[in-house]
Amino acid sequence: MPKKLILLNAFFKKEFILFRRYLINSLGGMITLYVIFLLLIGGYRGFNALSGVAGDTVESLVVGYVIWLFMLVTYQDVAYTLRTEAQEGTLEQLYMSVHGLGWVMSSKVIAGFFVNLILIAVMLTAALLTTGISLNVDLLSLTPVVVGTLLGSVGIGFAIGGVTLVLKRIDSYTQMVQFLLIALVAVPAQRVAWMRLLPCSYGASLISRIMVGGQNIMELGLSNVAVMYLIGVGHLALGYGVYKACERKAMRAGMLGHY
């Protein structure tokens, strides 16, 4: 087996071992996310009942919540990994890997994607059972669109991770990013052209068209999917560029692996 595939396989094993070994903590996190969803759906229905104001459908709310959750865990996979490695003093060991930091982090993101996919599937099932709605879960159409959407959140993770290398403690700001991700999902990127340039926003609108509107990838238009990927790759490159700039600054200051 090629060495890079061995590394990828090792990350898969690590992710599942950590999930199983700290199962109580993992379940606690899932329960917390489900409670957040209950508060969202309860607040939405309560507001509509009191005000009579027509808003987004419950289906759109569920899809938006699931997209936000996927973006959040993907962003955290990158940013929190870099921060944790720096805190534990093992970040410099990643740089000494024969695979290079780029492939190490790529393997982490790929392995985390499939583990997070299980979490998202569980949360989506719980949301559907709670609300009693149905959505179009077309995996052949959703998979490429979801991957393209998450490129932006990976870019955000790299940017935040890079800033963490320099400033070390920015917890209050990383918490703000969670709310920023909500805004990126909520903006009307389908109707306002310039908003499509925001990270993940255009992809979120395409996912909504599949799951709520019942469209498939051909009905979305391959040109729209291609534009989404161009935007996602651009955000990924920008985020990685920020990380490399912060990395050079941390190296010059001799504090790359120090907390």
pLDDT in tens, the chain (259 residues): 577 788 888 888 888 888 888 888 888 888 888 888 888 887 766 655 444 444 457 888 889 899 999 999 888 888 888 777 777 777 777 777 777 777 888 888 888 888 888 888 888 998 888 888 889 989 999 999 999 999 999 999 999 988 888 887 777 777 788 888 888 998 888 888 888 899 999 999 999 999 998 899 999 989 999 999 999 999 999 999 999 998 888 888 777 666 5
Whole-prediction pTM:
0.87
8 A C-beta contact, residue 102 and residue 2: no
Task: Specify the amino acid at residue 52.
Answer: G
8 A C-beta contact, residue 74 and residue 113: yes
85 half-sphere exposure, CB direction, 13 A CA radius: 21
Which is it for the CA torsion 216, 149, 186, 122, positive or negative? positive
Quote the CA–CA distance of 192 and 72 in Å, as a whole number: 24
| CA distance between the termini of the chain | 36
